[in-house]
């Protein structure tokens, strides 16, 4: 063997060793029929087969079953033989059955006379790259779908000259154009003509390019020619090499927000005016109130002075309430009202509210009825503000209920929620007014409201306070002239059995006992009944003797509070008749009288048969002391 032949053999050996040692590529030889003739280390690592496991087998073992069924491996060899080389990417199969994404190059091998002697095959694992490309593609697709699905923002792309290149659904919704109507057109079509003449579109592009990002607000034009106030953000888009590719533009319709800003500014000015007005009104009210107090201390004023004094006092109280309403209206609209909820007695809240509203109801001779649970009701609330809610509802009912009408406040607790109704048989609410009855300064129907005093603040304030407690409030009415009901619910309520000092808690002598109050003075009977209800008793009232006897037969009361001086049938006569009824001897009877011990003479009514006696007006402390020492079942 000559020197040239030795050199050729050595070169061939070196090339063989090089190919066999390559780790990142599977390099192997096939005969013309596709039988594996050689196998390098990269092939063993990539495909998982040792050389003795594949040499002599057809290379189709590396293809998925669907590809083999379509005779694709043989088709690849045919293309390589025809064209000299063939390259593709596709799925291949390792020995363990796992798939990988491969780049495949098949080269036809021919001898010196052109006869096909086989094929050289190089395979590279591109699975990682494909996964990255697929992840990128999916990310781009998700981003595209995200942009396309955004409806509150117009998001679109411009080329470097400002021509529209993309258009999302939000852009169509805000500007009114379909994508086909804007693609390829200059974005200046969205500017007002005067802004275009002033060069604003060009300036916007230039500023974004120079500053890297611009944001502004201004008027823009929709397809229908209407204008809207827009917030615009524009940023240039650059390629990896820094080449300017265009602009990204985001537009948001701010018309409603701009309107709200203007309203908020107006609202602040109104609040400042109300606060100033209320402050200025309070200055003259203080000396007027002092003057009334001085007149009230004046001994033995004349009837004329007394009537004038009382009239001033009533009107001053009304004016003070209006000023307080003005202040609360300002605090309410500016969000300055705060509540401090704590566990409070709803019974006490009712008592305070009724006490405040009672003069207005008495002035119009309203019949007031209170229906509350016999046991104590506790609720998580701000006591002062909840009193305000009830007082406003009661005052509203009194205001729109004619003289002699009826007003009822009822309450119940279910599933931890307190439900309260204030019902009247007054002027009612028309369907047209129902929508705005809780709005600030609303006074319902114009004709009815024009006859009443007030600013239309009370109901709006009541709604705000109830909602701040996490509750809800609403109104209902069969219609004008048919009365109305204002209802609200609050969370965090519970009922607890009330027990009075001196009572044996081991014996269920609780305060659910039935009590009968009898007095021909309706206000006196109703007010005493209210107190007893708030103390936890079941109370029924009667305004004459015969009605009292009928009520006693029905309710079988444990106790009776009897007015002494009643027409037709006075207190002692009623008591004798009660004692004669079945079980009447067990009734605890209390005489309620306007005569004190110093006034008693032989000619006064006989108090024999009564178990106790209370002096009008009944003091709460005296009543509680009496009940604390009485066993009522």
User: Strand 376-381 to strand 493-496: parallel, antiparallel, or no bridges (unpaired)?
Assistant: antiparallel
561 close to 517: Cβ distance less than 8 angstroms: yes
The length of the chain in residues reads 633
H/E segment holding residue 292: helix 255-297
For domain 259-333, give the CATH number. Answer: 1.10.287
pLDDT at 412: 94
- Picking from 563, 564, 503, the residue whose alpha carbon sits closest to that of residue 536 is 503
- Picking from 27, 29, 49, 31, the residue whose alpha carbon sits closest to that of residue 40 is 27
Q: Is domain 3-126 given the CATH code 3.30.450.20 in the classification?
A: yes
46 close to 125: Cβ distance less than 8 angstroms: yes
- Picking from 516, 512, 499, 627, the residue whose alpha carbon sits closest to that of residue 561 is 516
pLDDT at 141: 65
Which regions of the chain carry the CATH code 3.40.50.2300? 514-628
Q: In the CATH scheme, what is the homologous superfamily, with its name and number, of domain 514-628? A: Response regulator (3.40.50.2300)
The DSSP annotation for 237-249 comes to EE-TT--EEEEEE
Which regions of the chain carry the CATH code 3.30.565.10? 342-496
DSSP 133: H
pLDDT at 484: 94
Q: Give the Cα separation of 387 and 457 in Å (integer).
A: 16
For domain 150-253, give the CATH number. Answer: 3.30.450.20
pLDDT at 361: 87
Q: Give the Cα separation of 244 and 238 in Å (integer).
A: 5
434 close to 475: Cβ distance less than 8 angstroms: yes
Which regions of the chain carry the CATH code 3.30.450.20? 3-126, 150-253
H/E segment holding residue 381: strand 376-381
Q: Give the Cα separation of 27 and 91 in Å (integer).
A: 17
pLDDT along the chain (633 residues), means of 10: 51 52 81 93 90 93 92 93 92 92 92 91 87 70 60 85 89 89 93 91 92 89 89 88 89 76 65 62 62 69 78 72 66 69 90 82 88 88 89 90 93 93 91 75 47 62 89 90 93 75 38 83 79 84 90 89 87 91 90 59 64 77 80 68
pTM as predicted: 0.40
Q: Is domain 342-496 given the CATH code 3.90.170.10 in the classification?
A: no
pLDDT at 461: 83
């Amino acid at each position: 063997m000559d020197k040239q032949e030795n050199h050729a053999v050595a070169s061939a050996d070196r090339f063989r060793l090089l190919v066999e040692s390559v780790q990142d590529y599977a390099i192997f030889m096939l005969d013309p029929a596709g039988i594996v003739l050689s196998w390098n280390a990269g092939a063993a690592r990539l495909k998982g087969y040792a050389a003795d496991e594949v040499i002599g087998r057809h290379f189709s073992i590396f293809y998925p079953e669907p590809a083999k069924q379509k005779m694709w491996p043989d088709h690849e060899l045919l293309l390589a033989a025809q064209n000299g080389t063939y390259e593709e990417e596709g799925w291949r199969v390792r020995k363990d059955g796992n798939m990988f994404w491969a780049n495949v190059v098949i080269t036809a091998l021919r001898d010196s006379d052109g006869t096909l002697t086989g094929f050289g095959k190089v395979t590279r694992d591109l699975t990682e790259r494909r996964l990255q490309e697929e992840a990128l593609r999916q990310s781009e697709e998700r981003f595209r779908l995200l942009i396309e699905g955004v409806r509150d923002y117009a998001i679109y792309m411009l080329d470097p000259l400002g021509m529209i290149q993309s258009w999302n659904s939000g852009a169509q919704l805000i500007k009114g154009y379909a994508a086909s109507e804007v693609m390829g057109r200059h974005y200046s079509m969205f500017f007002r003509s005067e802004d275009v003449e002033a060069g604003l579109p060009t300036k916007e592009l230039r500023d974004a390019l120079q500053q890297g990002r611009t944001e502004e607000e201004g008027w823009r034009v929709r397809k229908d020619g209407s204008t809207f106030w827009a917030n615009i953000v524009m940023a240039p888009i650059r390629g990896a090499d820094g080449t300017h590719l265009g602009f990204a533009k985001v537009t948001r319709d701010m018309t409603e927000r701009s309107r709200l800003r203007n309203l908020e500014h107006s609202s602040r000015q109104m609040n400042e005016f109300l606060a100033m007005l209320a402050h200025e009104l309070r200055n003259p009210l203080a000396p007027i109130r002092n003057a009334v107090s001085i007149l009230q201390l004046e001994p033995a004023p004349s009837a004329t002075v007394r009537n004038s004094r009382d009239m001033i006092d009533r009107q001053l109280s009304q004016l003070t309430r209006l000023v307080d309403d003005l202040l609360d209206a300002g605090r309410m609209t500016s969000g300055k009202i705060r509540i401090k909820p704590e566990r409070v007695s709803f019974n006490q809240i009712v008592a305070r509210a009724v006490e405040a509203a009672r003069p207005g109801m008495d002035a119009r001779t309203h019949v007031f009825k209170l229906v509350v649970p016999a046991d104590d009701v506790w609720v998580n609330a701000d006591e002062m503000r909840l009193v305000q809610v009830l007082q406003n509802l009661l005052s509203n009912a009194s205001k729109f209920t004619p003289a002699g009408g009826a007003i009822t406040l009822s309450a119940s607790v279910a599933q931890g929620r307190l439900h309260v109704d204030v019902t009247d048989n007054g002027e009612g609410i028309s369907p047209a007014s129902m929508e705005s009855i809780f709005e600030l300064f609303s006074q319902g129907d114009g004709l009815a409201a024009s006859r009443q005093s007030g600013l239309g603040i009370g109901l709006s304030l009541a709604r705000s306070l109830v909602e701040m407690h996490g509750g809800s409030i609403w109104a209902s009415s069969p219609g004008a002239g048919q009365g109305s009901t204002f209802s609200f619910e609050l969370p965090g309520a519970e009922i607890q059995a009330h027990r009075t000092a001196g009572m044996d808690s081991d014996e269920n002598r609780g305060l659910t006992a039935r009590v009968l109050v009898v007095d021909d003075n309706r206000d006196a009977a109703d007010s005493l009944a209210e107190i007893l209800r708030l103390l936890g008793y079941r109370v029924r009232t009667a305004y004459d003797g015969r009605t009292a006897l009928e009520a006693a037969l029905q309710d079988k009361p444990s106790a009776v509070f009897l007015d002494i001086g009643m027409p037709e049938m006075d207190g002692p006569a009623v008591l004798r008749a009660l004692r004669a009824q079945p079980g009447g001897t067990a009734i605890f009877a209390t005489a309620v009288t306007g005569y004190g011990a110093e006034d008693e003479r032989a000619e006064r009514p006989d108090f024999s048969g009564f178990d106790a006696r209370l002096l009008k007006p009944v003091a709460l402390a005296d009543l509680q002391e009496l009940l604390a020492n009485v066993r009522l079942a």
